[in-house]
Structures are given as structure tokens and as C-alpha cells.
Structure 1
Amino acid sequence: MTEQFTVSYGALVPVEVYWDDLDLMGTLYHPRFVALLDRAVTAHWASKGYRLSGRRLDEDGYQLLREVAITFDRPITDFGTVVMHLWAEKAGTTSMVLGFRLLSGDGAEEYAHGHRVSIKIDPRTKQPAPWTARARADIEELLREPAQV
């Protein structure tokens, strides 16, 4: 990131655009936006101490992606560090809706925005399963609107 900036809700996660992510027109190839989103989500949860791969995968790491919606606001025309602003729009018993904005390193430009829906599953039954208390607390920290008591 070239400059530090803050947001009033959610988390900021730097992600790298590599030169081979750009297409022949010199812009970020559209499927790579989702890859950047996945990298940011993985980096965020790993920074909270969740193990998301390997033999000791955390229980809350078993998730299926249900939906990704993205609106492209402007092209990314160079490689380097960009910032994903992530927040929780909704936390269900077994699901969560993350909102996101992909921003320039200084936060001045928005390249894309949208949401991502994931469902936590039981690894044995492959059926939806409730979040652990730990995950629920971490998801609630990301909520755009505080939970109503």
C-alpha cells in the first residue's frame, strides 16, 4: 500500500495483482477479481488464527461458496498492491454474507464491489452446520451494522 487509510467498519486486506493477472489489453482479467477476493478472505481469516488448509483444518474452514456477485467499477491497469475492504452484511446460523470493495492502495479509487455468500458445512455429512462461538464472534466483529441486542 502506498498510503495508510482506515475504514469505520470491516477490515482492510492488501492483495497483490501480478503482471500475469493482466490480459492482452493490460487490464486485470475479470475472473482474477474473484481470485483476489478469495485471497483476501483467506488472508483475513488466517490473520485471525484460523487454519484453512492442511490436515488440521479448522472446523469453520469447511465452507462452500454459494454466490458471488461483482460489479466492475473501473479497470485495474497495472500490477501491484491493491486493498480489499471486507465486511459482514449478514451472519446466519450456518452462513455469512460478506460485502467487499476492491480499492487502490491509497483507497482513492474503487475498482469493484459486491458480495460473497458462503455456507459452513459439516465435513462428514456435507450438510450445513452452525458456526462455532469463536467464528460467530469474529464474524460479528466484521458486521457493518452492530448486532441488535
Structure 2
Amino acid sequence: MTAEAPPAPALSYGRLIPVTVHFDDLDALGLLHNARYPLLVERAWAELWQANGITFDGDWVAAGDACNAVKELRLTYEAPVTRPGPYAVHLWLDRLGTTGLTYGFRFCSPDGAVTYARGSRVLVRLDATTLRPAPWSEGFRGAARELLRPDA
């Protein structure tokens, strides 16, 4: 019998996704390597969208809204992560456009109380054939609206 993970705390907006920092994610100084933050945020983002039925299985044409590219990434480090173990990524949307979106994130303690890093990322939905911007589907837009920050 396996124990279920405790429920994530209530947030006023967005979602808190659990992530794990492993020993090999730390650098020679024993700090979470700076390149690992975007990777852990990406994994949390993928988990969130997979839970909403948006996945990629190797076919970009069939991927629909999962066919997107990063246009911009901003990241600020606020406090060092010095130990492996459980953490979380708080995700939300700052902007939902026709073909793009901007989401915010915080890399934080499992309860969301301590912020180690924060940032934002701009994504552009692409047509798999032309690699040109394409509109998000209505299904995606519906799920995405639930992540919009209230003051966005």
C-alpha cells in the first residue's frame, strides 16, 4: 500500500506542481545547478498540460497545442537550493493571446511558502507543417483561462 501525496495548498491563482531535486541536480558547490531550474519548470508545465489531455507522443501534426516553441525565458534566482528532496513549481498564466502566451512561475518549497527562483516564459503555438504561429484550440484556451492570474 502506497501513501498518497498530501494535497497541494490552496493558491489564489495558478497551480502548485510537486517536483523532486535529485543529488545529481546539484553542482560542485552543492547548489541546484542554474540550468536545472528551467528543466524542472518544464517538467512541471508538461505534467500540468498532460493532466489536461495535451500531450506529445512523437507526431507533431497530431500534437496540436503541444506543438509550440519558447520565444523568451526570464529567470531570477532568489535563494539557493542546497539539498535534494521535494520542492514545487507554482505555475500561472500572465497573458493568453491568440497564438502565444506568457506564463509565470516560482520554484518554491513544497508548500509554496519559500521562493527560490521566479521567472516567466513566452510560448508560441506553431503549425506543425509550416512552423508559423497558429491559434490555440478552444479546448486549450478553456483550460488555460483557469490558470490566468486575476490581475493579468
Q: Considering the TM-score relative to the shorter chain, is it more than 0.5? A: yes
> Does residue 76 of structure 1 match 2:81?
yes
Change (3 A) 1:42 1:77: same
Tell me, yes or no, if the aligned pair for 1:16 and 1:79 is still in contact at 8 Å: yes
Within the candidate set 34, 50, 67, 1:46 is matched to 50
Change (3 A) 1:83 1:23: same
Q: Hey, what does 2:91 align to over in structure 1? A: 86
Q: CA deviation at 1:3?
A: 7.7
Within the candidate set 9, 14, 17, 2:21 is matched to 17
Tell me, yes or no, if the aligned pair for 1:64 and 1:121 is still in contact at 8 Å: yes
Identity of aligned residues (%): 38
Q: Which amino acid aligns with 1:41?
A: W
Distance 2:91 2:8 in 1: 16
Distance 1:2 1:79 in 2: 19
Q: Which amino acid aligns with 1:105?
A: P
Change (3 A) 1:112 1:95: same
Distance 2:105 2:8 in 1: 18
Tell me, yes or no, if the aligned pair for 2:99 and 2:135 is still in contact at 8 Å: yes
- Structure 2 residue runs without a partner (length 5+): none
The TM-score with structure 1 as length reference comes to: 0.92
Q: How many residues align?
A: 147
Change (3 A) 1:99 1:3: same
CA offsets 1:39-95 (integer angstroms, 9 cap, x no match): 111011011111223237430000010011011000100111111000000001000
After TM superposition, which residue ranges in structure 1, 4 or more long, deviate above 6 angstroms? none
The TM-score with structure 2 as length reference comes to: 0.90
After superposition, the CA RMSD in angstroms is 1.8
- Structure 1 residue runs without a partner (length 5+): none
